[in-house]
Amino acid sequence: MMALLSGAWRYRYFVISSISNEFKVRFVRSRLGAMWMVLHPLAQVAIFAFILSAVLSAKLPGIDNKYAYSIYLMAGMLFWSLFSEVVSRCTTLFVDNGNLLKKMQFPKVTLLLVVAGTSLVSNLLLFLAMMAIFQLLGHASGVMLFWLPVTVFVTLLLAFGVGLLLGVVNVFVRDVAQVVPVMLQLFFWFTPIVYMVEIIPRQYASWFALNPMYHLVSAYQNILLFNRTPDVGALGVIALISLFVLALATFMFHKAKEEMVDML
């Protein structure tokens, strides 16, 4: 662990410049620039809200706001945009940086830090936009916001664990990168982001407890929407599971890194 931290610190300027260059390349010749990182998820929220709010707005107990469903959606999308971006990028991380891995010797953790940095900047811009919209809609988040960094950290742990595991396998089986978007779409609908778990028949609702993303999105919703303390016990369990998956992915990477370079 100390070696990883030492390597990350020595290459900190590489990480910072990589994050900066990525944003420059992503939005070169774009008039709105980084605003697109905010507009895309907000447009998705607007579409869902327009189509589904009439159906679901009456089923949001505990929220005294006529825009309750839109606020609920934005809280869930803040989680999903971070989780899905990190998983998607980690899945193709080694393939996308194949030439760099073959030609240079550097701490591989810096690649993960670049992903984390760009994803967090995008998520922070979305969060600030959402806070402004919450104010316009008459909804003020309370003191429970101090739980948000903890929830974001656990989200990153889970996303990196899953993404890194998929990234290692994707080097050898390139079909993984094609399957991941489908699986993410499937899990999006199996996670209560556009609906509340209370509307699910009771015999099926208990299955949601097996979905770690359910507990994370519930934490975001409790913090941003209901101004309640998230389920700390559930967050702790998810963090332990995420650490185990991340450790497994790291072990697989170290075992297969020589073969990975050959495959790349």
For the segment 178-188, the average pLDDT, to the nearest whole number, is 92
Task: Determine phi and psi for 225, rounding to 5 degrees.
Answer: -105, -55
What pLDDT, on the 0 to 100 scale, is given for residue 245? 93
Rounded distance, CA 130 to CA 224, Å? 10
Task: Quickly tell me which residue has 């916001």 as its tokens.
Answer: 145
- Paired tokens of 262: 């050959």
Angle (CA) 9-13-15 rounded to 5° is: 80
Confidence of residue 149 (pLDDT cuts 50, 70, 90): very high
What's the pTM value of the predicted model, to 2 decimals?
0.85
Confidence of residue 255 (pLDDT cuts 50, 70, 90): confident
Q: Per-residue pLDDT tens for 103-144?
A: 666 667 778 888 888 888 888 888 888 888 788 777 777 788
Rounded distance, CA 204 to CA 104, Å? 51
| 49 touches 141 (CB < 8 A) | no
What pLDDT, on the 0 to 100 scale, is given for residue 260? 77
Rounded distance, CA 97 to CA 94, Å? 5
**First-to-last CA distance in the chain?**
26
Q: Is residue 138 left, alpha or beta, with left meaning phi > 0 and alpha meaning psi from -120 to 50?
A: left
| 193 touches 217 (CB < 8 A) | yes
Q: Per-residue pLDDT tens for 22-73?
A: 766 666 665 655 566 667 777 766 776 666 655 555 455 555 556 677 788 8
Residue 39: partners with Cβ closer than 8 Å, 6 or more residues away: 32
